[in-house]
Amino acid sequence: MRSLQNIYINYGGLESCFVHHQGTGVKPRIRAFRRIFLELPHQPRQEKHIANPDKGASCKRINMFLRWMVRNDSRGVDFGLWQSVKPSDLICPLDIHTGNVARKLGLLKRKTNDWQAAEELTATLRIFDPSDPVKYDYALFGLGVFEKF
């Protein structure tokens, strides 16, 4: 809670925290967010709660949060509250279900569900829609979880 308070008081909120620390793509923004979130004194064990793409984490939860805040699907799944990040910049949230379905469909070659796999899947999805590649996430996830594809 103190880290979130710090972000809102000193960085203007979560959106500003992600936007003011731009680089090429989402990875440097996640890296900066993680650094800022952990800048207050904390126990080392707390660092595991904020995924680190530099250590190969797919950052599923952070990418999912970004999807919710950036995309606006007009159906209530994605809120589209943030206007300063483009949907084309997002990385597809990758978990076991999404990864397995993507592999079965030939959308993903990499065998591990890490940051490189999330980037590879997103690059493939950009072929279908360069302006909003992450819109396919829910369908891939649903096929894996609900349809046992």
Side-chain half-sphere CA neighbours of 39 within 13 A: 14
At 99, which amino acid appears?
A: G
Distance CA 6, CA 35 (A): 12
Query: What is residue 74's predicted lDDT score, i.e. its pLDDT?
Result: 80
Query: What is residue 9's predicted lDDT score, i.e. its pLDDT?
Result: 96
Beta carbons of 33 and 18 less than 8 angstroms apart:
yes
Beta carbons of 95 and 57 less than 8 angstroms apart:
no
Query: What is residue 6's predicted lDDT score, i.e. its pLDDT?
Result: 96
| 79: helix, strand or coil | strand
- Domain boundaries of the chain, sorted by first residue: 2-145
Helices 27-37 and 2-10 pack at an angle, to 10 degrees, of: 110
Dump pLDDT digits (tens) for 111-125: 999 999 999 999 999
Residues forming a β-bridge with 79: 72
Structure tokens at 107: 């959308």
Query: What is residue 127's predicted lDDT score, i.e. its pLDDT?
Result: 97
Query: What is residue 86's predicted lDDT score, i.e. its pLDDT?
Result: 92
CB-based contacts of 146, cutoff 8 Å, min separation 6: none
Query: What is residue 130's predicted lDDT score, i.e. its pLDDT?
Result: 97
Side-chain half-sphere CA neighbours of 15 within 13 A: 11
Structure tokens at 31: 């890296």
Query: What is residue 12's predicted lDDT score, i.e. its pLDDT?
Result: 93
- Positions in the chain whose pLDDT score sits under 70: 21-24
Query: What is residue 22's predicted lDDT score, i.e. its pLDDT?
Result: 63
Query: What is residue 19's predicted lDDT score, i.e. its pLDDT?
Result: 81
CB-based contacts of 108, cutoff 8 Å, min separation 6: 99, 102, 117, 120, 121, 124
Helices 115-128 and 96-104 pack at an angle, to 10 degrees, of: 50
